Amino acid sequence: MRSISLILKQFSRSVVLVAGFAICGFSAYAQGDAVKGEALFKSKCTTCHKLDQRLIGPALGPQLESETDDKWLTKWIQNNQALISAKDQKALKIYNEYNQSAMTVFGDLSDGDVSNIISYVRTEYKKEKTAAPAAGAAQAKAAESGPSDLVIFGLIGVIVLAFIVILVLNKVIATLERLLLKRQGLEPLLEEEPKEEGAPVDRFALVKKLAKNKKFIFFVVLCGILASVSWTWMTLWNTNVHTGYQPVQPIKFPHDLHAGTMQINCQYCHSGAYKSKNASIPSLNICMNCHKVVKTESPEIHKIYDALGYDPATQKYDSTKSRPMQWIRIHNLPDFAYFNHSQHVKVAGLKCQQCHGPVETMKEVYQYSPLTMKWCIQCHKRTEVNMKGNAYYEKMEQVHDILRKGGKVTEAMMGGIECGKCHY
Amino acid sequence: MLAMNKIKILGITVITIAATVVITSCKDKRSTGWEYAPNMYEHIAYDPDQPNPNFKDGKTAQKPPVGTIPVGFTTFDYPNTKDGYELAGTEVKSPLPQTQQNFADGEILFQHFCSPCHGMTGQGDGLVVAHGFPAPPSYSKGQSSRGGAMKDLSDGKIYHTVTYGVNAMGSYASQLAPEERWKVIMYVHHLQTL
């Protein structure tokens, strides 16, 4: 009997163990492996989806929370096109809601992969949701700890005030004591005064002597006048020169981040510099190339949205609400000077920084060069022209060759009928 | 000079100091500083980026009238839809000859306009992506969201995408002229083979 019970016990244990493993395994399959899902999510989904925000496609966190039919989700993720062409109602609704932009067909994802991704999204979104109130609470705590800082500063202030009061009182006491001594008898004062006066007399003797010297005084005054006149002269000489001008722009666009850290080429936004007179201030659609997706919460970016009449929640533009962004011009040439960007950037091959300075390090752009005639001419005198491999100068050389051979040259041959020669 | 009396010297000193203070003290980086006769600095002719009271919308840069095209401009009559994309993919071919110059121009344009996201080698690893922009698929290894491998994308399909944008990518029609787009595509075809 004992042996039977032992066998039974062992048997029942193994059964429980196996059952336990089976349940674990089953539940693991049903839930999917969130860790594996994370890697897949980051490589396949983040191009178009965020957990908590609408990007190209829906915000996956809330979407997967409301959509619990995993079988349908798997079908959608693996081949959304098939569902749409089969006129599945749910699929069509999403397709139309997101401007009929087709989702990539992920035929390479197995059922297991998809369930891994789904479980990652759900667990991660839950974590974020619970983390968000915690962060809020932490902020509140920080706010609560704010007054303690105030108290500390207040205490420091009180201590400083106390010191000042003590010092003042000390002085008052000292003067009162002196007055008392004066009344009682003049002896202590008389003793002290000669000692104190003796030193200053020696110290200022030279100064007093010089002060009586008229020639010296005149010399000093003349030097002072010359210095201030030359300072005034220099300032007046810079009339109409705006070097260092750094106005406050309507949007705090940091060039150091975009052109410095991200190394976006100047031409990306100022695309006119290579092909026209104007370097052109980028229109807001160029900002939206990136900021439709990134930094969507920033108040500065919302200025772009407001100017465009763009609603980030629906990703739609309302052209009736749009207005131009009024940037403040920094580099301004007078009308009597013609300057063409493309001639300098494309033909001469100058770097933008040569005139505009290290813009890629400027948080706020300022005028780097004086843009005076002297400055232009200096560069034109010093810069050697590179004629090789330059279509602009090749044309000029051709004209010269024709002239040398005694041929006729017309204005049109030198580009005289290009529209921009007159209508600029 | 030395015969000048004290009052005259004092007067000159005071005047100079006062003038210096008045003229040099107002140095503010937010203002353009001293201006004398700024008439031609305040342009009479309107610059494209200036406000303009002559137009209803207050802008100098006006859109061309509907239905007009600039001289020498080639139109791209494929709508911004999946069908337009597929149709452009089969019908549109690059009009540019395969020359070294076009390829070199394309490389520079690609580096200036595309590499911030797509990376220097088209792998979708540009610096903007490193700072949080969603990564585009690799030209050589990725899958297109509109079906097929990225490396198989034809002239017309890429042109359609550059012109209209897709997913997180915006339209580059305002930054790249049609010819420049074709130069970029020439270089993209090279990156597809990497």
Task: Tell me how close the Cα of A19 comes to any Cα of chain B, in angstroms.
Answer: 43
Residue found by looking up tokens 């002297």 in the block: A374
Contact between chains at A262 and B147 (C-beta distance less than 8 A)? no
Q: Give pLDDT tens digits for B131-181.
A: 888 889 899 888 888 888 888 899 999 999 999 988 888 999 989 989 999
- Pairing, β A310-311 against β A316-317: antiparallel
Inter-chain touch B169–A246, beta carbons under 8 Å: no
Q: Where are the beta strands (DSSP E) in A41-99?
A: none
Does B10 reside within a domain? no
Task: With CA atoms as reference, report the closest residue to A283 among A252, A308, A264.
Answer: A308
Is residue A44 over pLDDT 50? yes
Contact across the interface for B49 and A231, Cβ inside 8 Å: no
Contact B23 A261 (CB under 8 A): no
**What does DSSP assign to residue A93?**
H
Collapsed DSSP state (helix, strand, coil) of residue B56: coil
Integer Cα distance of B148 and B141 in angstroms:
11
Distance CA A56, CA A42 (A): 15
Residues of B in contact with A281 (CB under 8 A): 49
Among B80, B97, B88, smallest CA distance to B179 is for B97
Residue range of the domain that includes B138? 82-192
- Main-chain dihedrals φ then ψ at residue A97, nearest 5 degrees: -65, -35
Taking one residue from A and the other from B, the number of pairs with CB-CB distance under 8 angstroms is 161
Residue B95: give its domain's CATH number: 1.10.760.10
> Can you tell me the mean pLDDT for A242-265?
92
Query: Tens digit of pLDDT for each residue in A402-414?
Result: 999 998 888 888 8
Band of residue B4 on the pLDDT scale cut at 50, 70, 90: low
State the alpha helices, DSSP H only, in A89-110.
Answer: 89-97
Q: Are A403 and A409 in contact (CB under 8 A)?
A: yes
Considering the domain boundaries, does residue B11 fall inside one?
A: no
| Banded model confidence at residue A247, pLDDT cuts 50, 70, 90 | very high
Q: Give residue-wise pLDDT tens across range B78-134.
A: 888 888 998 988 888 888 899 999 999 999 999 999 999 999 998 988 899 998 888
Residue A126: per-residue pLDDT = 81
pLDDT at A26: 45
Q: Which of A109-123, A287-301, A401-415 has the lowest mean pLDDT?
A: A109-123
What domains sit in chain A, N to C, each tagged with a CATH number?
27-126 (1.10.760.10), 186-237 (no CATH), 255-384 (no CATH), 385-424 (no CATH)
pLDDT of residue B103: 93
- Asked whether residue B19 is assigned to any structural domain, the reply reads no
More confident residue, A209 or A226: A226
| DSSP string for residues in A177-212 | HHHHHHHH-SHHHHHHHHHHHHHHHHHHHHHHHHHT
Quote the percentage of chain A above a pLDDT of 90: 21
Contact present, A353 and A365 (Cβ < 8 Å): no
- Interface probe for A, chosen from B82, B110, B133, B138 (most Cβ of A below 10 Å), is B133
**pLDDT value for A135:** 56
- Residue A22 tokens read as 């089976």
Pairwise CB contact (< 8 Å): A232 & B19? yes
> Between these two residues, A30 and A166, which has the higher pLDDT value?
A166
Taking the C-alpha atoms of residue A344 and residue A385, their distance in angstroms, rounded to an integer, is 11
Asked whether the predicted pLDDT for residue A305 surpasses 70, the reply is: yes
Residue of B nearest to A296 (CA): B133
Q: State residue B82's pLDDT score.
A: 86
Q: Which band of pLDDT confidence, cut at 50, 70 and 90, is reported for residue B28?
A: confident
Cα separation, A244 vs A413, whole angstroms: 43
**Which of A246, A265, A293 has its CB closest to that of B29?**
A246
Range in A303-307, A310-314, A329-333, A392-396 the model is least confident about: A392-396
- pLDDT bracket for residue A293 (50, 70, 90): confident
Percent of chain A with pLDDT over 70: 83
A30 pLDDT higher than 60: no
**Does this complex have an ipTM over 0.95?**
no
A232/B23 Cβ within 8 A: yes
Q: Is residue B57 part of a domain?
A: no
Q: Mean of the pLDDT values across residues B34-63? A: 84
**What is the reported pLDDT for A201?**
57
Average pLDDT of span A238-267: 91
User: Residue-wise over A298-315: b if at least 16 C-beta within 10 A, else e?
Assistant: eeebbbbbebbebeeeee
What is the rounded average pLDDT of the residues A2-11?
56
CB within 8 Å of A284: residues ≥ 6 apart: A304, A307, A308, A325
- Read off the pLDDT band of B184 (50, 70, 90): very high
Quick check: is B136 in a domain? yes
User: Are A321 and A221 spatial neighbours (Cβ–Cβ below 8 Å)?
Assistant: no
Average pLDDT score over chain A: 80
Longest pairwise C-alpha distance within chain B: 98
Nearest CA in chain B to A226: B16
* Maximal CA-CA distance, chain A: 134
Q: What is the rounded average pLDDT of the residues A125-132? A: 78
Instruction: Give the ranges where A275-418 is alpha helix by DSSP (H).
Output: 284-291, 299-308, 341-342, 352-356, 373-382, 391-404
* pLDDT of A268: 93
Residues A339 and A333 sit within 8 Å (Cβ to Cβ) = yes
- Can you give the C-alpha Rg of chain B in angstroms? 29
What value, to the nearest 5°, has the Cα angle with vertex B166 and ends B162 and B169? 75
Q: What is the pLDDT of residue B27?
A: 76
Alpha carbon of residue B56 to chain centroid? 26
Q: Is residue B16 part of a domain?
A: no
